[in-house]
Amino acid sequence: MDLSQVYRQHYRSLVRYLYRRTGDQGRAEDLAQEAFVRAIEHCPSQPRAWLFQVATNLARDEGRRQSTHRRHLTLIRSQASPAPTPPDIALERREKVLRVRAALAELSPRDRDGLLLWEEGFSYEEIARVLDLSLGSVGTTLSRARSRMAEAYKRLDATAIEVAGSKTDAAS
């Protein structure tokens, strides 16, 4: 398959994957473009899986260089709202996004990447290839990722409600 065609078909998906992984859209686009530039040099036989594998490695290396705190600040500054919404709704949505991101951050890197790849439409075989897993362990990986993410979000959501309730009591 022509790489330019792969670019047209999968660039958005790769950026979304990296955005969910890093929390920074600008950085996600840079990493995605870097992955494609490397693909031009290497001409992989299975470009889609190769691109996501390279992108995963780039994001991992990127994460080791940056601090978590700085990444979250960047997220808050760079997150663009697609359409104007009432302030309270926008704030609520932003807080929900932060909780989701925090829940995702509680997963191990392998579980998180497996879950994100599944959401991008990768099959079990492709996930196994990208993450260098055995095929039989992909189901277990996704199972663990989903259950932990659900538990983490539930806990964070309950904490947020508790904090919001205490603030309301204090205000009154």
Partner 1 sequence: MPHLDEGSLHAYLDGSCSDGERRRIEQHVSGCGRCRRRLDDAGTQSRQASALLAELEPGPIHAPPWQQLEQRAAARRRDAGGRPRTEPLWPISFLAWAASLLLAFGLGWLANFGWMASTGGFAATAALPEEVPRQAAGRAKAQEKRVGTLSEAEELLPATEPALQAGAHRRLLSRDEAASNEAEKKETGKTAAVLADRLDAARPAAPAAASQPAPTENDADRQAQKSEERAPAAADRPKSQLVQERFFNKVAGSTAQKRPAAAAEQPARELQVAGQTELAAEVPAFRGRRSRSGGLAAADRRGVTGALGFVGVQPEAAEAWLGAPLRQLSELTLLGVEVGPGNPLEGEASGRPVVRLLYEDAAGQQVTLVQQYLGVSAEVGVGGLSLGAPRAAAGERPQVGAAEPREARADQKTRDNLRPPPALTVAPSGMRVYRWRDAEGYLLSLVGPLSGDSLRSLADRVK
Q: Which stretch binds partner 1 (CB under 8 A): 36-44, 51-59, 61-69, 159-167?
A: 36-44
The single residue among 72, 120, 133, 160 that binds partner 1, judged by CB under 8 A, is 120
Contact status: 166 vs partner 1 (CB under 8 A): no
Cβ proximity to partner 1, 150 vs 167, nearer residue: 150
Tell me the C-alpha to C-alpha distance, in Å, between residue 11 and each of 22, 36, 48, 51, 106: 16, 9, 10, 10, 27
Contact status: 31 vs partner 1 (CB under 8 A): no
Cα separation, 143 vs 161, whole angstroms: 27
The single residue among 31, 58, 115, 131 that binds partner 1, judged by CB under 8 A, is 115
Tell me the C-alpha to C-alpha distance, in Å, between residue 21 and each of 26, 48, 55, 141: 12, 17, 10, 17
List binders of partner 1 among 76-95 (CB under 8 A).
Answer: 79-82, 93
